[in-house]
């Protein structure tokens, strides 16, 4: 029978006594961490996709206008 891997831990430091407690996360806390990690990965993917779409839109606009990015900067300066 396989034994369960221990969960990650968090640490509590008592600043009055100096006692350091390492506390194993509960399964619910591990599930919450996993959810947060998935959420963060989704947000990152969305941000990357938006940045890519913005870059493509900018390049297409410059091409339509027939100017370079440096020339566009000059116009906006």
Closer CB to another protein, 1 or 13, in the complex: 13
Span near another protein by CB under 8 A; candidates 13-21, 50-58, 63-71 = 13-21
Q: What tokens appear for 41 in the block?
A: 């990965």
If one asks whether residue 9 binds another protein (CB under 8 A), the answer comes out as yes
CB atoms within 10 A of CB 9: 10
Q: What is the C-alpha to C-alpha distance for residues 64 and 72, in angstroms, rounded to an integer?
A: 12
Which residues have C-beta within 8 Å of that of residue 9, sequence separation ≥ 6? 22, 23, 24, 25
Span near another protein by CB under 8 A; candidates 34-42, 55-63, 69-77 = 34-42
If one asks whether residue 49 binds another protein (CB under 8 A), the answer comes out as no
If one asks whether residue 72 binds another protein (CB under 8 A), the answer comes out as no
């Amino acid at each position: 029978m396989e034994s369960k891997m221990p969960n990650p831990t968090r640490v509590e430091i008592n600043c009055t006594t100096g006692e350091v407690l390492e506390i194993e996360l509960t399964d619910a806390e591990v599930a919450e961490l996993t959810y947060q990690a998935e959420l963060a990965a989704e947000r990152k993917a969305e941000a990357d996709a938006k940045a890519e779409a913005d870059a493509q839109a900018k390049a297409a606009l410059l091409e339509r206008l027939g100017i370079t990015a440096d020339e566009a900067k000059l116009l906006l300066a």
